[in-house]
Amino acid sequence: MKSKIIIISILLLLSACSSQEAKISFKKTKFQFEYGETIEISASQLTDSDDKEVLESMKVETDKLPKDKNYIAVGTYKTRVTYKLNGEEKVKFINVTISDTTVPEITLKQEIIEVDQHTESINYNESVEASDLAGVTLTYDDSAVNLEEQGEYSVGIKATDSNGNQSESTIKVIVKEVVKETPQPQDTSGNNSNNAPETTPTSSGPYYVGDIMVVNKKHSLPQSYAPGENATAGNAIRQMIGDMQAQGFDISNSYSGYRSYEYQAQLYQSYVNSHGQATADTFSARAGYSEHQTGLAFDLLHTNGTLVTNANEANWIAQNAHRYGFIVRYQAGKESITGYQAEPWHLRYVGSQAESIYNSGLTLEEYLGVPGGGY
């Protein structure tokens, strides 16, 4: 009788052990991910079990979760977890939450939009881009802009993604006065009866050496020349900015690119008023003599809005800009040749010839054999 009791006890103990083995404890049943993030949940995150069969067979069925575009949609989902224990298929459920806390990124293709007085409307989308993994909508608050009145206005930009995240920025709008030109009588005496300044642009179009446009203190652009930002150069500078940001450099998406004749005249005059003409001429171009009017020149900015001067960024730009078709236009030690102080932030797009110019170590004037220096 005693042996029977012992056998029964052993069987009950084995049954209890078998019951314990049939259960796996999950140490975590709630997981959270950012929208667009790859969802990876390992067996070791779910359980402390060291059962090889359990660990090797465990699978989280995230492939069945609903998608928004190419990513799992925002929400909380009861998600199946399957695994095998002692050869038997088991199922447990966990909660997977997808949240979107990332705001859209706004990129200004140009910092300033210039329009003529009495223009009917402004297409801001030509100058502004927004990106986000979710769908994004741009809206503009231009209630302060009066297209009938010349002046400088600020337009609010708001980017909203499909999950409600928002980011804001501003862009400047300059409404220019439309000036009708009055024909001037010709002076056949050989004297300049209008007493025009010696540096007034008189060229009928850009000056080229080969396929490179030259704009400096000896070669100007007419007031009517207004091409806007060059599309190829604009794409190249944004690619360069993106690559620099990916490497951790302090570079803003915004930059100072195309400037009209009229805007450059205002900018130059403000420097003359602040510093005097002699000093202003060492760092600012007179209207018609600015490379920015070509649509091929760009000033890079730090994320705080100041011009790039830090050695870290400046050295990288000097050594890599040619790979994107740019040259650093105004170099240190070449002031008498270019006519301007060194500007590590000022890039000029020259396309396929950038590498050759970079390797020569010469300024654009030296490389092309054209005069530069002062007016």
What pLDDT does residue 114 have?
A: 82
Residue-averaged pLDDT of the chain: 86
pLDDT in tens, 133-157: 888 889 999 999 998 888 888 999 9
Residue range 250-279: mean pLDDT, rounded: 93
User: Which range in 71-75, 101-105, 346-350 is most confidently predicted, on average pLDDT?
Assistant: 346-350
Choice among 47-56, 101-110, 201-210, 261-270 with the minimum mean pLDDT:
201-210
Pairing of strands 88-99, 297-300: unpaired
Q: Are 137 and 159 in contact (CB under 8 A)?
A: yes
For 277-293, the pLDDT digits (tens) are 999 999 999 999 999 99
Q: What pLDDT score does 22 carry?
A: 52
Strands (E) across the chain are located at 30-34, 59-60, 67-68, 71-72, 75-85, 88-99, 105-108, 112-116, 128-131, 136-141, 151-161, 166-176, 207-209, 212-214, 255-256, 297-300, 326-330, 343-349
Closest to 51 (Cα-Cα) out of 25, 27, 16 = 25
pLDDT at 126 over 80: yes
Q: What is the pLDDT of residues 162-183, one digit of tens each?
A: 888 999 999 988 887 654 433 3
CATH class of the domain defined by 200-375: alpha beta
Which carries the bigger pLDDT value, residue 200 or residue 72?
72
Contact 301, 252 (CB under 8 A): yes
Interval 291-348: pLDDT, tens? 999 999 999 999 888 899 999 999 999 999 999 999 999 999 999 999 999 999 999 9
For position 358, what pLDDT does the model report?
A: 97
For the chain, domain boundaries: 25-99, 102-179, 200-375
Q: What percent of the chain has pLDDT over 90?
A: 66
| pLDDT for 178 | 59
SS3 label, residue 193: coil
Architecture per CATH, domain 102-179, reads as Sandwich (2.60)
Q: HSE (CB half, 13 Å, CA atoms) of 169?
A: 24
200-375 has the same fold as 102-179: no
Instruction: Calculate mean pLDDT across residues 23-27.
Output: 86
**Burial class, 325, CB count within 10 angstroms (exposed 0-12 / middle 13-18 / buried 19+):** buried
- Model pTM? 0.51
Please give the pLDDT value at position 191.
Answer: 39
Confidence of residue 2 (pLDDT cuts 50, 70, 90): low
